[in-house]
Structure 1
Amino acid sequence: MTAIAVLGSTNMDLVAYVARAPGRGETVTGREFRTVPGGKGANQAVAAARAGGEVVMIGAVGTDEYGSALRTHLEHAGVDTDLLHTVAGPSGTAHIVVDDEGANSIVVIPGANGSVTALGPGERAAVSAAGLLLLQLELPLTAVTEAARTARDRGVRTILTPSPVRTLPSALLAAVDLLIPDEHEATALTGCAEPHAAAQILLRQVPAVVITLGRKGCLYAARGAEPVLFPAPEVTAVDTTGAGDTFVGTLAVALGEGRPVPEAVAWASSAAALCVQRQGASTSMPHRSEIDAA
């Protein structure tokens, strides 16, 4: 089994369910509120662990009640939390509005995640010992870039989810093996709204890219190969929160097992399809037996 290191955020998701999201300056009445463990890093770690991966989480939580709950949630999923540090102050939170079509809008407050500005000896050792490194952009870029460069120096395959989207340093991109933006992030990174064209622009910076397209599936492109569009399973979405992280975590497990890209993408797509049919982020992520049966 390939070990997967995840350097990323751990947040408590505060989720409001509404018929439609409010516009600017508008107040609407919601029908339900939930507090759900999340954070892009933690979500990918849970998704990978439930899919059968051996996962270590690198990050930070606060000294509030959310911190202990987030740690416990990861441990129950089978994630190693020895490198999930506790720092003084609040944990990260994500304030999420989910409408009746399953779409969401999110505001993230970094909290303890903002303290992760560099790697210590233990973190560098964990990255070096892994077969795969998963990164996102909810931590300071200094730590993300250092982890990517450490992985590159040790021959560790690195997957980056560029969310929340921002200008990416060349030092980071030079150390990324696979970039997985959604269609909006791909547009923001390239200035091009057409996925095939955006993929070709991104391939000037990274060797391979998967652009996730929601109900339209995902587009895989790599240098020297023809792009492939993979359709998504047809399901009724209840809540899309965490679907992208489910896809990435599950894909990492499949690639770590040496599966061909088409098989790996299809398996990850099945996991994401199961996720969107349930409410919540990490709580909706499927286990390996469910993915295999889909």
Structure 2
Amino acid sequence: MKLDNTTAAVVTGGSSGLGEATARALAAKGVKVAIFDLQAEKGEKVAADIGGIFCEVNVTSDESVDAGFAKARAAHGQESVLVCCAGTGNAVKTASRSKEDGSIKHFPLAAFDWLIQINLVGTFRCVAKSAAGMLTLDPGEDGERGAIVMTASVAAEDGQIGQAAYSASKGGVVGMTLPIARDLMSEGIRVNTILPGIFNTPLMQGAPQPVRDALAASVPFPKRLGNAPEYAHLALTMIENSYFNGEDVRLDGAIRMAPR
């Protein structure tokens, strides 16, 4: 797919981190970018920087996502690119015993469901609604109408202690990549997923330096955290290379996460 000023894109979670880097990389190609996020102040600033548009969107709400797509399409036309970076995480053991008094508790199911709703259902919600819009586009070269990139995590394959919900949510994204690609193959819409390792995102930047150093040292090579533009580079490769379809790709410096 050619990326230029005739292309419209939506990036969820585009106010910071991996999504912001991707929004900026797309805009650098001339693409008209709409950012979906709940961080309005940051999102408005990024949108202003790149000449895009910000849409305050909660990916767990049909109404919010519909309103976001309506606003984006009114400004830029129907998007042919969707990159899903909106997501969050938590760390709670499935069941555990208190070191203080020996009391036993389990993972609160509401917290489990909350994470699934954001990371997995929220991703699918945006993909399904964007794909339906892409079906209205005239096909281009090879009959292509659109390209979608989803974001999972190496935790989908190497989940650590306390990551049952997070790994389930990201494993679900990996698991639905090929079926969605097959669902959309006759309409010329490609779907791929990136599994990032440990990246230097705003969340990680809040960790103590010794923790960050230890995590960087655990990466086989290069021995550092990933940088958001490296994620964006792979996302654009998946979009621009029209033979890239139905794939789940780790971007992790060859790390394999230990139990803790």
TM over 0.5: no
For the superposition of Structure 1 and Structure 2, which TM-score range results when normalised by the shorter chain? 0.3 to 0.5
Structure that is richer in helix per residue: 2
**TM-score, normalised on structure 2?**
0.44
User: Which entry has the higher C-alpha Rg, 1 or 2?
Assistant: 2
**TM-score, normalised on structure 1?**
0.40
Structure that is richer in strand per residue: 1
